[in-house]
Amino acid sequence: MTTTSPTNDDAPQPDKRPSRLRRAAQAVSRAARLPFDGLGYLYRTGQENKHFTLPVLNGAFGDQLAARHDPRAIRLSFRRHDADVAVADLRLSAERHKTVVFLHGLMGDEYIWQTGPEPAVRYGPRLQQEQPVHCLYVRYNTGLHISENGRALHHLLAELVATYPAATRELVLVGHSMGGLVVRSAGHFAAMKNEESGMRNAASALPQPETRNPKPETENWPQRLKSVFLLGVPNDGSFLEQNSHLTSTILRKINLRPTRFISGLLDRRSNGIKDLRHARLVDEDWLSPHADDLLPPRTVVPPLPGVHYHVLVASVLKSVGSALADYFGDGLVGTGSARGTVFGDPALPLDIYVSTRTFAQQHHGTLLANEEVYQYLRAQV
């Protein structure tokens, strides 16, 4: 009878699983590293999305950042290669005589005009490829008052046309949402300067002592302004901000500790957001002692003479003429507000041109990446 001895495969194997003590130590080690791993992840995410988080921070609290000179407060400037660029460093070629300037909306930045997931249409780079134009992009602190940004844009455009007269023989401004209000505010400050210049010219008609080397007047950029495109702009105010203000007022009137707390939080929203309630474009409106009334004073800022305004409106509904579309519009701006009372005034002077175009089944964001919108922009620039 033959017997076989057990092979190595049949021999009992040692337990290769880690001991209970070792497993516990590994679990404790992972738990100890978790906060640091989480902070590392948040840091990497923040760095990768810095162009998104910083504009959002400025839109929400940009006025407070600017007031304490926080380095995170955005300064209005032209942008190139993810950095501010001085007007003198733009180096615009004199071979192209038309310049298009793009302005983003609340909590946005210049990237909305330049980049995005495929197959989204990005207007700036494509327009510069298909048309003999310069495309420039402005970034600004959307938490500041609209009029503060409007005044800064006025000075920036004056410097632009004075530095590059050949490249800005024709100027075109494109503003999305709040950006369109900043454009209109800049026009207001330019018009005020023209009135002051007119008064000085009238005074200079009187006998004056002779002066040597008189200082030349700053270039008047509205004289070169051909067109203004307003994409989803709350020209008569934002219903979201109107509701926020009403909610804050009611909670404050209830005057209980919880309601006062919530009202205080709501009131910490930035000046830029508050200006959207009734599209305040001038300093006098937010400086008024009645600025926080339910029906505050509002200065009408008319269109600039000789300029063609293209008012582009979006509606998430198929029907663009209903009361529902008029109020909710593209989800953030009602179609009635986007059309703007001032642009529908039948008494507008003959030298002001307004074209209104409505895009059905589009929301506030798709106005920035829509083939039909781009083709309209390209044809009219």
Q: Is the pLDDT of residue 221 over 80?
A: yes
Tell me the mean pLDDT in the region 122-144: 96
Q: Is the pLDDT of residue 213 over 50?
A: no
pLDDT tens-digit map of 330-376: 999 999 999 999 999 988 888 899 999 999 999 999 999 999 999 99
Lookup result for tokens 């023989």: 169
User: pLDDT category, 265, cuts 50, 70, 90?
Assistant: confident
Rounded CA-CA distance 190/136 in Å is 20
Residue 278: both structure tokens together: 């009734």
Rounded CA-CA distance 98/140 in Å is 23
CA dihedral for 132, 188, 152, 56, sign (positive or negative): negative
Instruction: Please give the share of the chain, as a percent, with pLDDT higher than 90.
Output: 62
Lookup result for tokens 């298009």: 100
Sheet holding 308-315, edge to edge: 83-85, 77-80, 133-139, 98-103, 170-176, 225-231, 308-315, 353-360
Residue 348: both structure tokens together: 């507008």
Q: Is the pLDDT of residue 5 over 80?
A: no
pLDDT higher for 135 or 204?
135
Tell me the mean pLDDT in the region 226-233: 98
C-alpha 374, offset from chain centre:
18
Quote the pLDDT of residue 198: 54
User: pLDDT category, 264, cuts 50, 70, 90?
Assistant: confident
Highest mean pLDDT among 112-126, 135-149, 200-214: 135-149
Q: Find the helix or strand (DSSP H, E) in which 244 lies.
A: helix 239-254
pLDDT tens-digit map of 138-158: 999 999 999 999 999 999 999
Instruction: Please give the share of the chain, as a percent, with pLDDT higher than 70.
Output: 80
Quote the pLDDT of residue 27: 63
Q: Is the pLDDT of residue 133 over 90?
A: yes
Tell me the mean pLDDT in the region 26-42: 56
- The angle at the Cα of 316, spanning 314 to 320, to the nearest 5 degrees, equals 65
Q: Is the pLDDT of residue 233 over 80?
A: yes
Quote the pLDDT of residue 295: 87
Contact 297, 288 (CB under 8 A): yes
DSSP bridge pairs for 152: none
Quote the pLDDT of residue 228: 98
pLDDT tens-digit map of 72-108: 999 999 999 999 999 999 999 999 999 999 999 999 9
- Per the prediction, the chain carries an average pLDDT of 86
